[in-house]
């Protein structure tokens, strides 16, 4: 593992690291914030999964998360959103290929050799963090924005004992029935829609739910709200009687101005679960 940078940040360290990924068969880069407490003990970990076109850097520099994480003594990890580099499949559109891994393991060409973001986030990167940093692997929670909100919700519901809490900012809630989803799920996983269900938060909510606290925020002025389909997740939460706070925030859009406005709420929400 290569250290790209380490900077003092709110009493802790914001680092950026690169390593060779077995899952994605390429070099992968991630950001990791460790609070001051990590100098003396293992600390809880909050995952932040980013959205379409993002790298590890977007949320690391725009989400205003480190200060709140430092206040609660929580580490933050910012993975990349896809494999990248020469010889790795891509698409001219912004919503497919590099920068748009959708947190699935691709089974279709040309994506399947490298696009295994599910294994990377669920297995490989957690193990690497536990081996190399002061992380308490028994105390993890997860959040994300847009495509990353989709990833956070689907990982949490498919790995029921992994995360103590889950939240999402403007998640893609029903990709199996949305133009932000059908293209990607069919491209990565093939035409058999039965294989898509484990990557659709609204369908998973009806089937499994999540055994823990959940927080969802979406802006009423989100310019992509028809693609996000938040109403499908709200209906599924109500039908299952899931423990959840589902909030439509008046006037907010899809940007990091929205994410940073409610980051304090989300980190405090996760801190309560992580330190209990």
Active site residues: 146, 222, 254
How far is it, in rounded angstroms, from Cα 82 to Cα 72?
29
Question: Nearest CA to 167 among 78, 261, 270?
Answer: 270
**Contact partners, residue 122, CB within 8 Å, separation at least 6:** 155, 159, 162
Q: Considering only CA atoms, which of 26, 211, 66, 43 is closest in space to residue 129?
A: 43
- Alpha carbons within 13 A on the beta-carbon side of 75: 24
Whether the bond between 110 and the residue before it is cis, its omega within 30 degrees of 0, is: yes
Q: Is 89 strand, coil or helix? A: coil
| Cα(81)–Cα(102) distance, integer angstroms | 7
Give the rounded distance of the alpha carbon of 117 from its chain centre: 11
Q: Which ranges of the chain does DSSP label H, i.e. alpha helix?
A: 57-62, 66-72, 117-119, 125-132, 147-158, 182-189, 201-207, 225-228, 230-240, 256-274
Measured CA to CA, the distance from residue 23 to residue 26 in angstroms comes to: 8
């Amino acid at each position: 593992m290569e250290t790209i940078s380490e900077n003092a940040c709110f009493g802790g360290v914001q680092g950026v690291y690169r390593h060779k990924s077995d899952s994605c068969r390429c070099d992968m880069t991630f950001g990791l914030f460790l609070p001051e407490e990590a100098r003396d003990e293992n600390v809880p970990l909050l995952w932040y999964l980013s959205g379409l076109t993002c790298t590890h850097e977007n949320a690391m520099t725009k989400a205003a998360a480190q200060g709140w994480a430092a206040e609660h003594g929580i580490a933050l990890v910012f993975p990349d959103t896809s494999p990248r580099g020469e010889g790795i499949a891509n698409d001219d559109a912004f919503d497919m290929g590099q920068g748009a891994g959708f947190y699935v393991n691709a089974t279709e060409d040309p994506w399947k050799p490298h696009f295994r973001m599910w294994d990377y986030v669920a297995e490989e990167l957690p193990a690497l963090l536990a081996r190399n940093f002061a992380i308490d692997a028994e105390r993890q929670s997860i959040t994300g924005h847009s495509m990353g909100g989709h990833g956070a919700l689907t990982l949490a519901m498919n790995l029921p004992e992994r995360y103590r809490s889950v939240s999402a900012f403007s998640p893609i809630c029903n990709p199996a029935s949305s133009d932000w989803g059908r293209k990607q799920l069919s491209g990565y996983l093939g035409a058999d829609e039965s294989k898509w269900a484990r990557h659709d938060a609204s369908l998973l909510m009806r089937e499994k739910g999540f055994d823990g606290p959940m927080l969802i925020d979406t802006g009423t002025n989100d310019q992509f709200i028809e693609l996000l389909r938040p109403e499908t997740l709200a209906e599924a939460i109500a039908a299952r009687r899931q423990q959840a706070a589902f909030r439509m925030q008046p006037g907010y859009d899809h940007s990091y101005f929205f994410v940073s406005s409610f980051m304090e709420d989300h980190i405090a929400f996760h801190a309560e679960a992580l330190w209990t």
